[in-house]
Amino acid sequence: MPSIVPAAPGDPERIACYRILGRLGSGGMGTVYAALGPQGRRVAVKVIHPQHAAEPEFRARFHREVEVLRRVAGPCLVPLLDAAPAADIPWLATDYVPGPTLQQHLTAHGPLAPMQLHLLAAGTASALAAIHAQGVVHRDLKPTNVILTPQGPRVLDFGIAHVADGTAITRTGMLTGTPGWISPEHYRDSTVSPPGDVFTWGALVAYAATGRLPFGSGAADAVAFRVMREQPNLEGAPDDLRELLESCMAKDPQERPTAATLAERTTELLGRQATQVLDRGPIQTTAVEEVLASQWHIPEVDDDPAWTIAPRRNTRRAAWLAASFVLILAAAMGAWAATAMNSHSDTGTRPSTEPASVRETARKPSPATSPPPVSSPPAARAVSTPSQVAPSPTPPVGRTQVTTIAPWAVGGYPADDITVTGETVGSCWSSSEATMRLDSWRCIAEDQILDPCFAPDESPEHEALLCMGTQPNRMVRLTLTEPLPGNNFHIPGGPQVTPLLIILADGNACRTMTGATTVLAGERMNYGCEEGGHLYGEPDKSNALWTISYRAEGAGASVSTPIAHAYQ
């Protein structure tokens, strides 16, 4: 169970009707606070970081996440209580669910007992069925996203959920799963679909049954290889569940059962277990919650004292003292003090006019501090200032300008035209999905994917990479915690290298997209454009002036559009 840590300087005292007690956690997208609602209801309030709240694209994604949470409700899920996606700083509130995560429980107590295992299987399968019934894919079902509450298991974290109509909530290039809890098809081609959730459900229940990861542990690429090529280790799993788990972890998504079928099958198996334990007739589907109420026995954890002893901040007294001080100071110093205070107030609330790229560079970490999260320069994000990366939005006469991105100079130093905007620490587990270059990798730092990350050469013997940020000449230095995978899947002589960034003739900057996207007229949506619209398929390079299929937002068809500049 996440503990409450004291609020940090600058944290709010109250959000709407919710009084903030402290922090439950913080990540690249936002901070989650422990709070008390009306009548003392315990809630978790997720607040988006201000830098993301200023981005229209991110606000739209957050609004979509709220809509997903409002759509999805059912057994063993955590309901949305309140939200303000249109607020200056967007937020949402859900019930706080006490209890350890499944991961914490297994680490402390080992595999679940038979009845607890069947209750976990039936409860989480019912939750997954409710999610899929609303056209939503969870994408990150894993032991740390299942809480074992006193009332039963609860499935958490729709922060990276994916709507089945093809609209992802997460930023392009963000981590859409956790290594070891990813389906074979997602490892292969980033396919996101309900069968992928069924695969990870099978792995989750197998882990709960045996206390052992079904595909082992170790380096991320080694685990990925086992997931794609080897069979799960189910030794020790109950016989009545083994066949179901094997079908869930089939390599072919078409061979897996649906979540609705899982809910039915696990309820039947729970009924047989309850018949033995309770000495009564077969259980019915509607009685699952009844069995949870009577037979769910998970060791309770101590209640966090912050819920009951957190002092209420005396904001009225503080406000009275501040007002008194202002009055005394004003009486003593007259109009000068009032003018100074007004000036200070103005400068404190005036939005910065400094360009985003300058502000980003100014936030370089000092050597004494730990590396910052990599959310400042996201790994795959539409370019925010195309004028800085395209010298001229107008294409040369009859010809597309092509630039090969070269982050490294001879000797293993960043090239002269490369600006290193920050540093982070992480590892790489696969070839880049954004480009077919042999020197590029797909890496993880904090909770964010960086792709592409460039090595000084095609050798895997390197200690640091440069990961492309919002522009092709702005990079994050990634210090590796483990060696690069032994080989790069990009085979020489294979598919041609495609551009990472395309500037259209009108200056619209379009960034490559990784992960599952929609398909139009047989062509995959490969680029998202800063000024709206998407590019489909690959550039047509048959002439000196390249073209590509562009579809504007809301347009009924795509049109062939000239490319002014391509960065690859």
SS (H, E, C) 350-411: CCCCCCHHHHHHHCCCCCCCCCCCCCCCCCCCCCCCHHHHCCCCCCCCCCCEEECCCCEECC
Same domain, yes or no, for 15 and 45? yes
447, 480, 513 - which closes a domain: 480
Note whether residue 487 is domain-resident: no
Q: Residues 82, 117: one domain? A: no
67 shares its domain with 128: no
Statement to judge: residues 148 and 248 lie in one domain: yes
The one catalytic residue among 11, 140, 189, 506: 140
pLDDT value, residue 361: 31
Whether 227 and 185 map to the same domain: the answer is: yes
Does 508 share its domain with 465? no
Percentage of the chain beyond pLDDT 70 is 73
One domain, residues 80 and 119: no
Structural domain boundaries, residue 458 = 407-480
- Does residue 91 share a domain with residue 23? yes
Which contiguous run of DSSP H or E holds residue 115? Answer: helix 114-133
Q: Are 374 and 476 in contact (CB under 8 A)?
A: yes
Judge whether 472 and 567 are in contact, CB under 8 Å.
yes
Token pair of 88 as six digits: 């200056």
Q: Which of 48, 76, 95 is the last residue of a domain?
A: 95
What pLDDT score does 390 carry? 38
Mean pLDDT of the chain: 75
The two beta strands, 419-431 and 509-512, are unpaired
Q: Are residues 81 and 117 in the same domain?
A: no
Amino acid letter for position 469: G
- Inform me whether the pLDDT recorded for 403 exceeds 70: yes
The CATH number for 85's domain is 3.30.200.20
pTM above the 0.75 mark?
no
Structural domain includes residue 326: no
**Does residue 387 lie in a domain region?**
no
140 and 85 in a single domain? The answer is no
What confidence tier does 243 reach under pLDDT thresholds 50, 70, 90?
very high
Mean pLDDT of 331-360: 37
Instruction: Please report, to the nearest 10 degrees, the dihedral formed by the alpha carbons of residues 175, 226, 491, 450 taken in order.
Output: 20
* Pairwise CA distance, residues 93 & 310, whole Å: 19
- Per residue in 138-154, pLDDT tens? 888 899 889 999 889 99
Question: What phi and psi values does residue 548 have, to the nearest 5 degrees?
Answer: -155, 155
Assess whether pLDDT exceeds 50 at residue 325: no
Report residue 397 as tokens.
């006469």
User: Are 257 and 272 within one domain?
Assistant: yes
pLDDT given for residue 515 in this prediction: 53
Residue 365 lies in a domain: no
> 174 pLDDT band (50/70/90 cuts)?
very low
Q: Please indicate, yes or no, if residue 392 is contained in any of the structural domains.
A: no
Please indicate, yes or no, if residue 259 is contained in any of the structural domains. Answer: yes
In a domain, 435, yes or no: yes
CATH code (residue 250):
1.10.510.10
Tens-digit pLDDT profile for residues 31-64? 889 999 878 889 999 888 888 888 887 788 778 7
CA distance 294 to 269: 17
The top-scoring range by mean pLDDT among 109-113, 165-169, 217-221, 271-275 is: 109-113
Is residue 238 situated within a structural domain?
yes
Q: Is 364 annotated as a binding residue?
A: no
Give the pLDDT band (50/70/90) at residue 177.
low
What is d(CA 311, CA 501) in angstroms, rounded to the nearest whole number?
52
Residues 67 and 107 placed together within one structural domain of the fold: no
Between the two ends of the chain, the Cα-to-Cα distance in Å is 46
Considering only 120-124, 375-379, 459-463, which range has the smallest mean pLDDT? Answer: 375-379
**303 annotated active-site:** no
- Number of compact structural domains in the chain: 4
Residue that terminates a domain, selected from 77, 95, 113: 95
Residue 105's pLDDT is what?
A: 92
